[in-house]
Amino acid sequence: MNDLNEAYAREQLTACCRRLYERHLTVSAGGNMSVRLNPDEFLITPSGMNKGLVRPGDLIKMNLGGEVLGAGKPSIEHRFHLGLYKANPDTGAVVHCHPLYCLALTVRGEHIRSCLTPEGVLLLGEVPTVRYETPGSLELVDAVLEQSAAPAMLMAQHGALTQGRTLDEAYNRMEELEFQAHLQLLAGKAPELPPAEIAKLRKMVK
């Protein structure tokens, strides 16, 4: 991935946080979002701040050694962001939210079916559900990293997580994930696309 100018990255991540909040993909201080600056550094949202109110200067700079570079307290869940960046050199952004319909599926004990529409197949692929672990715990980090190759995942009774090569890609996956969860709750047991069509679509993203 190309290195990002830090001032530009701060503006872009702040705008992403505001968009997530305005789209009701996260509420209050819930969730955490980050963007990679270069192979060893990233910006992440601060602990306990309403995502609709985050400003560029509020974002916390960290390195992949887990050190805070400057002032501020990062999200308590910064460790799974760090782990995903280490596991996936091509990942440029990570978005974790608490979207209502994604959460509704997980509290009902349902897995998401991402093959109801072509967009679900193309943007999300197979979407695993990460087992519940206490937010901020090392156990949750381990659970997320067990699915580190997935571009999108649900988190049991907790929320959803997406990653992408760019911040826009990670954001788009989160928006699509919530759309697919809403569609599934509305459509019930409606059939997925035929297997041959799913295979054809998956070849398009390789």
What CATH number has the domain bearing residue 153?
3.40.225.10
Residue 1: inside a domain, yes or no?
Answer: no
Q: 89 in a domain, yes or no?
A: yes
Within-domain flag for 65? yes
What does the H/E/C string look like for 105-164?
HHHCCCCCCCCCCHHHHHHHCCCCEECCCCCCCHHHHHHHHCCCCCCEEEECCCEEEEEE
The verdict on residue 167 lying in a domain is: yes
**Residue 197 DSSP code:** H
Angle (CA) 147-148-149 rounded to 5° is 95
The pLDDT score that the predictor gives to residue 4 is: 84
Q: What pLDDT does residue 205 have?
A: 80
Q: What is the model's pLDDT at position 99?
A: 97
What pTM did the predictor assign? 0.94
Domain assignment present for residue 51? The answer is yes
Q: Domain tally for the chain?
A: 1
Range of the domain at 97: 6-204
pLDDT at residue 3, rounded to an integer: 81
> What averages of pLDDT result for each successive group of 10 residues across the chain (206 residues)?
87 97 93 97 96 96 96 95 97 98 96 94 95 96 97 97 98 97 95 93 85
Which pLDDT does position 28 carry in this prediction? 87
- State residue 1's pLDDT score: 62
Q: What is the pLDDT of residue 81?
A: 98
Ramachandran angles phi, psi of 32, nearest 5°: -160, 145
